[in-house]
Structure 1
Amino acid sequence: MHKFLVISSISILLFSCKTNSNNLSEQVLDPIEYSMSNSAKLILENPEINSISIGIYKNGETYTNYYGEIDKGKNNKANDNSIFEIASVTKTFTAYITAQAVLEGKLNLDDDIRIYLDGSYNNLKFDDRPILIKDILTHTTGIQREHFSKTLAKMFSIDITENERKTISGYSKKDFIKDLATYELKIKPGKKYDYSGFVAPEILGMILENIYEKSYAQLLKEQILDEAQMSRTSMQISDHDQKHLLNGYTNNNQLVKPLQTPLTGAGGGLKSTVPDMLRYIKFLLENSDPILKEMRKPLFYDEEEEDQYGYFWMVQGEDLLMHNGGTGGNVNWLILLPKINSGFTVSFNYNGDNANDLINTIASLLINDLISHPKKNAYYLIRNNINKKPENWVKKYQELKENNGSAYNFEDFSLLNDLGYELLEKNEIEKAIEVFQLLILEFPNSADAFDSLGEGYLTNNQYELSLINYKKSLELNPQNDNAQRMIQKIQEINKR
């Protein structure tokens, strides 16, 4: 069973930010603040995480808060002035400009990209299939970033030397065009998702510059930054703002210096603040409906990962648009939920081994909480109580549900399922089994509940009980391939 949703998201001009102390009781916090505080607290249980920055937009109001400390041991919390690298989330800005160009008739999604480039580029096709505009937007160009340029291949490495850093910073548009003209495609474009980093988006940046006869930076400023009043968002950090740029870290609290992105930066060069990103969310949700609709148009389905892509965004119909970004020392998500007029940004100044799992966890929790709003997520309430180890935990759960059912959402299946898998990962197997047993009491007709309990028993080497539950899961859902595999696995174990 999947533990989390995500794999791998204001007034007219004035912000009404609601920031609260982390020490306020849960009874005082409203549902948004409760969600921010508790999800951050959960993530900060992991010692590698330094600082968490969260901004939420919900129905015209904004909420910001910052947790942890930028540099361990210095008690320096991030704030509204703190600047972080949004990295590949920059692609959503490029997507907006591209969607605008399509709606204006300046581009067509099925156009051969070579129409808009100076030069012939006979190499940018495979089996007579050229790279199309939509291939760039869906990372299906066939261009592999690690093979594109030896210089750029080191760009996001944490162990680059100062000489390599200078070489990357000096990588010019002329260098890029030379590499582009000599690159050899190995697969047919449009067939396979293969994330190209900022290489393919940089081509799109050049195309946008050619069709508008303006620099990418100028297009960005005119079409988005000025319109959304994002005065703290830019490609380059001024000398005055250097003091606000967050330090980034990777494994073992190793400091990673930010790297000024060369070229236009269309695929990953922007730096921003939480309040500015909330202005961007408002701008997308409220002021640009035709463009938002165009950007979420499904253009490619990745069968292997079961993900669907629009204009760079990962999309789920009209419900959800997502994009994440990461540099050597930073990782973040930008999430939009148009149907409920909500969105959020969340970032860590850490990008080590566990960064993706942890940023996905908090993003998933925030999504669920916004969907359940105004009810609070009972996950945190239940989790805090089970960790206190009451003698009769099931009875305690029933008391919590009876006493808090009107204010907290106890109806979400993932509530107990996620908690059970969290306990399994901590090797607290007996407690996990007890949670999965409760899950079945709450959802007696759920095939997934019996599947989860089957996994709990299997982890505890209780094969007969595991088999019973997997068979029940398969009875409830004959299409449950996982249950079929596990039944076969247990039968093979029993034959030994």
Structure 2
Amino acid sequence: MHHAIALLAALLMAAPSAARASGHPSPAPLTRDTVVMDIPLDGPAGPLHVTLGQMMSALHVPGVSVAIIDDYRIAWAGGVGATAERNGHPVDADTLFQAASISKPVTATGALWLVSQGRLDLDQDVNARLVRWKVPANDFTKKEKVTLRRLLSHSAGINVHGFAGYERGKPLPTLVQILDGKPPANNPPIRVTMTPGSTCSYSGGGYVITRALLEDATHRAFADFMQQRVLEPIGMTRSSFRTELTPAQAKNAAAGTSSTGVPLPGQWHLYPELAPDSLWTTPTDLARFAIEIAKSAHGKANRVLPQPWVKEMLKRQCEGNGDRMGLGFGLRWEQAPGLFVHPGANDGFQSILLMDADTGKGMAAMGNSDAFDGIGDAISRTVAREYGWNTKPIDQNLGDAMLVLAEVKGVDAALAFYRQRKADDFAGYSHGPATLNLLGYRQMARHDTAGAIRAFELNVQAFPGNANAYDSLGEAYMAAGERERAIRSYEQSLKLDPANPNAVKRLDVLRRQSQPTDR
């Protein structure tokens, strides 16, 4: 999957925990002042209590919308913040967001409906049913074939992890142009690059083939089929797979934002691939979808899929590369036996859907920023505790905590926190070369070159074999006018990664600057 999936939610309750002992919490509205993270600091002051507003400011997340599921019902839904960094209007439960890759399990539900009706076969070679386009044969497909089961479980050996989207107003490719990677498509050709069935390898490209299969089997446009057979029966009244929003929908849609707070040109990108990434929806509608799947697994809803096919959907189909996949959903049995999940990330938007089919607890959360998952990672533990989720906690992302700490206390406090966590062997925190790198670039964006250098220098100490760490340090030295140090950093980066084109380019510039000029 795109990222290590964090249990994503929000602290939506203000009443004491004892009031929730009955198992039916009475949630209060989420506000910017809700405390969503405690950062342990050395000294008598104790932990730093971080509010949602502070996190949204630190991570450049204009708007957050959440729906919490308890006992197979929506217990609370609402929003905080605005639809845009500037000149937006308040986010509420009806605000539309791009669900991105959460489109995939919804698409899988439509595909399985056709299977349940005998109109498609999970294990048939898809080329037997594809009409307008065929999966090109190659050495990988000589013995094993691409099937719908393998497409839905990311085990078909298909390339193209995800898609970049298109600016509004620019030409959009047709389905066949996307499949063949021909202009104006901005993706490479979608092809089999591994033996089908050999491994789990996340592929948005596979879901484009799924779309082609569904359209050829139904003789209908994908968005129309999904509206009639999946979205409407479940009651997802505000959801659509159509590429363009209607004027009425656009008025209450969130605008995408980069992780540095820069608005996306045209407010959002378009995703004509449809099946893997184009769903516009709300957390409330996603919660309805999750409840439908969870209840159907127990034979108690089944408005779209019969119980046996839901059970097949939530059964392990493949495992590898850190993923355990069902048909459309990721399965997180190590956290809870009945937990099924999917994250989403398009440019300017991030989201998460998670549900425990055994306990009826879950949530959907969405934000209009490339940094939204950091907020969810920080605040998920509180909702899990308040609602009594029986899930194994995951490590907190150290980088997110450091970005917030730098916002509230300054960059040196964040660096000191990193050293504290290192002394504790990073217990309870996930980290890597990107942790300090993100902090360094945050300081660069704030024109604090000295602070950025301190972060990058600490990073190369922690990860001396990482070429990108030296590349980033070289950039900071260049910005500070420290030419010789920049040259040494880029040389080390190139030594570690001879294919680093940025280091080659920067070294050429720096060395020419070092040459004496004739007078």
TM range (shorter): 0.5 to 0.7
1:224 and 2:240 correspond: no
Q: Deviations over 1:367-419 (max 9, x none)?
A: 5554448xxxxxxxxxxxxxxxxxxxxxxxxxxxxxxxxxxxxxx9959x859
Distance 2:70 2:271 in 1: 32
CA gap of 1:126–1:222, structure 2 versus 1, over 3 A, is same
Deviation at 1:310, TM superposition (A): 0.5
TM-score (norm 2): 0.61
Partner of 1:296: 314
Deviation at 1:205, TM superposition (A): 1.6
CA gap of 1:348–1:191, structure 2 versus 1, over 3 A, is same
SS at match of 2:217: helix
Partner of 1:96: 109
Partner of 2:261: 253
Distance 1:434 1:34 in 2: 37
Q: Deviations over 1:66-98 (max 9, x none)?
A: 123333465842012211111111111111122
Task: Kindly provide the amino acid, as one letter, of the partner of residue 6 in structure 1.
Answer: I
Partner of 1:243: 251
State, as a whole percentage, how many aligned pairs show the same letter: 16
1:81 and 2:94 correspond: yes
SS at match of 1:56: strand
Distance 2:379 2:97 in 1: 18
Partner of 2:27: 33
Unaligned runs of 5+ in 2: 38-50, 183-187, 296-300, 404-413, 431-519
**Further displaced range: 201-210 or 211-220:** 211-220
SS at match of 1:324: strand
Deviation at 1:249, TM superposition (A): 0.3
SS at match of 2:157: coil
1:332 to 328, 351, 359: 351
Deviation at 1:431, TM superposition (A): 11
Partner of 1:382: none
1:51 and 2:63 correspond: yes
8 Å Cα contact 2:283/2:366 also seen in 1: no
After TM superposition, the structure 1 = structure 2 runs for residues 100-249 of structure 1, keeping only pairs within 5 Å, are 100-118=113-131, 121=134, 123-127=136-140, 128=142, 129-145=144-160, 154-155=164-165, 166-167=170-171, 169=172, 171-176=173-178, 178-179=180-181, 185-197=192-204, 199-234=205-240, 235=242, 236-249=244-257
Deviation at 1:125, TM superposition (A): 4.4
Q: Deviations over 1:303-328 (max 9, x none)?
A: x32x2001121013551111111111
RMSD between superposed Cα atoms in Å: 4.3
Distance 1:423 1:184 in 2: 40
Partner of 1:474: none
SS at match of 2:358: helix
Task: Kindly provide the amino acid, as one letter, of the partner of residue 452 in structure 1.
Answer: A
SS at match of 2:58: coil
Task: Kindly provide the amino acid, as one letter, of the partner of residue 314 in structure 2.
Answer: R
Distance 1:253 1:320 in 2: 33
8 Å Cα contact 2:165/2:270 also seen in 1: no
1:271 to 273, 276, 280: 280
Task: Kindly provide the amino acid, as one letter, of the partner of residue 342 in structure 2.
Answer: H
CA gap of 1:126–1:69, structure 2 versus 1, over 3 A, is same
Distance 1:430 1:343 in 2: 32
Deviation at 1:296, TM superposition (A): 0.7
Distance 2:418 2:228 in 1: 59
Q: Deviations over 1:299-355 (max 9, x none)?
A: 1001x32x200112101355111111111111000111111112211111101xx44
Please identify which structure carries the higher helix content.
1
SS at match of 1:266: coil
8 Å Cα contact 1:421/1:432 also seen in 2: no
Deviation at 1:363, TM superposition (A): 4.6
Aligned pairs, number: 373
Deviation at 1:187, TM superposition (A): 2.5
Deviation at 1:284, TM superposition (A): 2.3
TM-score (norm 1): 0.63
1:452 and 2:427 correspond: yes
Distance 1:154 1:430 in 2: 33
Deviation at 1:262, TM superposition (A): 1.8
Unaligned runs of 5+ in 1: 10-18, 147-151, 374-411, 437-449, 456-496
Task: Kindly provide the amino acid, as one letter, of the partner of residue 58 in structure 1.
Answer: D
